[in-house]
Structure 1
Amino acid sequence: MADVFEVKAIARHIPMGTQKVRLVVNAVRGKGASEALDALRFMPQAAAEPVFKLIASAVANAEENYGLEMDELVVSEIWADEGPRHRKAPHGGRFAGRGRFRPIVRRSSHITVVLAEREAAQ
């Protein structure tokens, strides 16, 4: 069995909710790298831009470090995890019923992509 090249890239602390990022991530999983970049270029979601930049960075790493072509690469794994939450306290929030207070929570995401060679992925 030949060596399987896997190129991994991580984008951390993206100021966007994880659910919104996962909608975009699920659309490009399993596609070729050039096909995924073309699809992301025309998606209207705001999460498409950081995912596009991350896949482009992983492709550049593969070309520079391992000498792989973009046509040979496939998005074998891609996922989005929760990042840290920032609670805007003590003054940032909304008043709720029964004398309670609800803080505003700013969510973030960590996105990870793993590119593999087309022959090895199939």
Structure 2
Amino acid sequence: MAPARPGSPAWRHPWAIGLTDSRTAPGPATLRHHDAVLGCLRAAGFSVEMTAHAISLIDSYLYGFAVQERSLPFTTGEEAAQVADAILGEAEAYPHLAELATEHVLSGSYDYGEEFAYGLDLVLDALERRLER
């Protein structure tokens, strides 16, 4: 089982989540970033209202995944296996977690970081379908 990606932004810059949480007002770099994303969405054909929905959805997904990834109780494959073993030790109490651990996570090819790409594809596909309406 592959750990959460130590090379991912949440691992390379663990301080960033706390800094984001502590800001009460966006700085110029954040405003430039948001303006550029809004411009891309508008250029793609999103209405102003749909642009607001899209940026909120994308921003929430990115931030939420980073927070979730950073708070995982493991950083190495060995630590992940220990977490899975603890769940398997209580399989009767958590049958669905045990099933996920044995049939997917401990399969040897699972990489938690791939969940980000999968989810982002879903978000972007849904936005594309909405744009086509």
* TM-score for the superposition, normalised by structure 1: 0.27
The answer to which structure has the higher strand fraction is 1
Higher helix share: 2
